[in-house]
Structure 1
Amino acid sequence: MATQADNATADPAAAPRSPFERIGGHEAMHRITERFYDLMENAPEYAELRAMHAPDLAPMRASLPSFLAGWAGGPRDWFNTNPGKCMVSMHSPFPIDRNTAGQWAEAMQRAIRESEVADREIADAMADVLANMARGMAKG
């Protein structure tokens, strides 16, 4: 008698989909990233956050979708390219306080909310987890 796990192995369509797949894959991660950095660059409420970043956001615009993909269960290219690194360790040199952490969290939640995604429920859950992670980086 076949178990449900056996059936999932035999039928890839029956296997649970990762959050990366559910949200819409690379395309959705790129839309979210573009909206996030557009907000950071143009919305005055994120000015302090923007000031902490390099003048040219192009490298981060290119890197963040790959990080989000791997973090959400998709291809792990970012993690393979950056072995042993994580977002917390990469941001530890920056003077992140509650205000700037809150700006990041709010901008990411807004970017996800305003982006076209395949599964709104998983996108909203991802927004909440990322916001909590950002707020957890605040020093003091």
Structure 2
Amino acid sequence: MVSHPGAERQLTELDFARLSTLYGRPLPEELGTAHLVPSREIAPDIVTMYSQVELAYIDSGHRQKLTLCYPRDAEPALGFVSVLSPIGAALLGLRLGDMARWRLPQGEERCAEVAAILFQPEASGDYTS
């Protein structure tokens, strides 16, 4: 399943409020225009904060596990990526099967499918992380 351009992202109301405070300015368009959902109603196939996902890179087929986190918890070498990083911002709010697209600092574009959501806090009953 591949998302079509302009597919609507979904964010929990809590994630949106926390990100708005974190950014201290308007959110990037892809996040600022996302559909807001109460934490208890977010579908289990949506990437939320502290979700662990498996990405499948389109160009190489390489698979990578990442956990989306806030900057204070980021440990890229351990797979914990900040929501403020290009890949983190690209993942938040996507649905299982959607394509994440982002640019590396050198300008190279990357593309990977959200191949699995291995853990989502809300799906396990954690509505406040």
Question: Bigger radius of gyration, 1 or 2?
Answer: 1
TM tier relative to shorter chain: under 0.3
Higher RCO, 1 vs 2 (CA within 8 Å, ≥6 residues apart): 1
Q: Given the two structures, how large is their TM-score scaled by the length of structure 2?
A: 0.26
More helix by proportion, 1 or 2? 1
Q: Given the two structures, how large is their TM-score scaled by the length of structure 1?
A: 0.25
